[in-house]
A and B are shown apart, each in its own frame.
Chain A
Amino acid sequence: MQDSVDIPLKIRTGIDVTGPAIWFADKKVLNAEAYISADLNEKFALFIGAGYSDYSYSQYNYDYLSKGSFLKAGIDFNLLKPEVAAGKYWAGIGIRYGLSSFLSETPSFTHENYWGVTSLSIGSSRILGHYVEISPGFRAELFKNFSIGWSVNLRKLISPGLKKDLRPLWLPGYGPGEPVSAGAAYYISWNIPFKKIRVGLKKEEQEEYYDEEEYGESSTGTRLR
């Protein structure tokens, strides 16, 4: 029986195709994201992602614009056994910290009350928000050194970068400026193997039975294990 397996460690670089796909359907939201990750061993990989977002929104009484970039970094953890993953498959969870630097602007909004209609605007300002992200997902090597995969991204906003009265409606890399947000990504990536490691396989624990004669009968008459 094989007691070890060779796992190729890889550097991966890829893009998220959901952003451009959504943009083709709705020209008001553009998200572009790329990432690079490097295997530390058969379980862990370092992840760095960056991207750009351009968002506009109109509601009955206001217009809103958000434009900027984001950077996120963290660790990917592979839950598959090394002999299953074999350097080709990944099913696990990523934990990331994200920074979002962007311009937020409300070019116009109107407010109507007893005194009439008031038109106001909020000028463009540079904002720095940050968040954490948990990304369970799956990735498979489709062809040699070419992978596809998807992840569901669950995010928690640490700070929107502005006080509560004027919190941004959209943060690049995070999404709607609510306390939590969710999204999905579909990655296409290119893999560069850089090292092979040999990983020992955990042996299945075998049940051991001992002869009653060897250990003597227990007082209850049950078999000792």
Chain B
Amino acid sequence: MRKVFNIIIVFIVVCVLALSVSCTPGSCFEETNAYLKASFYQSSTGRAVPPDSLTLSGIGKDSAVYKKAARVQPAMIPLNPSAPGCRFLIRINGVDDTISFFYSTFVHLISRECGYTCFHDLDSLVFTRHMIDTVQIKLRTITTFNEPNIFIYY
């Protein structure tokens, strides 16, 4: 009978430990937004040079993603998961351009604690050439990982 009692005690300890671990509410420490990462390059030298001033705002939006921000490298551009494309006004060193992104969106589970987010596959982009010289797509899948998706030469 003593053996049985010991078994029960050990079991209860194991259960309490297991439950205390499994019932501890987790916190999310990961990045939950997938941004299109744009690195800036000087077209004359081919070197990575962030603009002295960058303003970026979604067309149709009142607020700006960046407002006269200095030395932004890379720019983190949020895409609209509810639409197949979105358009931005981008002002590099005081000169305006527009850049449009076309993409598909898919759902990604980050973790139990952080839940789901939206990733994108970049199909194409269109831009004006006032300050921008060219835009190169480097990585079409837009995730929470810190890898540049496009290079903007200006």
A interface residues with partner B (beta carbon < 8 Å): 18, 22, 25-26, 57, 59-62, 106, 109, 111, 113-116, 118, 120, 122, 138, 140, 142, 148-150, 152, 165-167, 169, 176-177, 182-184, 186
B113 cross-chain contacts in A, Cβ below 8 A: 59
Give the docked Cα–Cα distance between A169 and B65 (Å). Answer: 33
- Of all chain A residues, which has the CB nearest B86? A115
- The answer to whether A106 touches B81 (Cβ under 8 A) is no
B63 cross-chain contacts in A, Cβ below 8 A: 114
Chain A binding surface SS class: strand
- The answer to whether B7 touches A140 (Cβ under 8 A) is yes
| Contact bitstring B64-97, A, C-beta under 8 A = 1, else 0 | 0100000000000011111100100000000000
Q: How large is the interface on B (under 10, 10 to 19, 20 to 34, 35 or more residues)?
A: 20 to 34
Give the docked Cα–Cα distance between A149 and B8 (Å). Answer: 9
B109 cross-chain contacts in A, Cβ below 8 A: 165-167, 169
- The answer to whether B112 touches A113 (Cβ under 8 A) is no
Give the docked Cα–Cα distance between A57 and B113 (Å). Answer: 11
- The answer to whether A184 touches B14 (Cβ under 8 A) is yes
Give the docked Cα–Cα distance between A186 and B15 (Å). Answer: 9
Q: Is B119 an interface residue when CB atoms closer than 8 A count as contact?
A: yes
- The answer to whether B81 touches A59 (Cβ under 8 A) is no
Give the docked Cα–Cα distance between A25 and B14 (Å). Answer: 17
Q: Is B116 an interface residue when CB atoms closer than 8 A count as contact?
A: yes
Question: Given A59-B115, A111-B117, are A183 and B108 neighbors across the interface (CB < 8 Å)?
Answer: no
- The answer to whether A115 touches B82 (Cβ under 8 A) is yes
Give min CB distance, B34 to chain A, whole Å.
9
Question: Given A114-B78, A115-B82, A186-B15, are A148 and B112 neighbors across the interface (CB < 8 Å)?
Answer: no
- The answer to whether B112 touches A165 (Cβ under 8 A) is no
Give the docked Cα–Cα distance between A118 and B65 (Å). Answer: 18
Give min CB distance, A173 to chain B, whole Å.
16
Give the docked Cα–Cα distance between A116 and B65 (Å). Answer: 13
A152 cross-chain contacts in B, Cβ below 8 A: 14
Give the docked Cα–Cα distance between A109 and B58 (Å). Answer: 24
Give min CB distance, A114 to chain B, whole Å.
4
- The answer to whether B82 touches A184 (Cβ under 8 A) is no
Give the docked Cα–Cα distance between A189 and B22 (Å). Answer: 26
- The answer to whether B3 touches A61 (Cβ under 8 A) is no
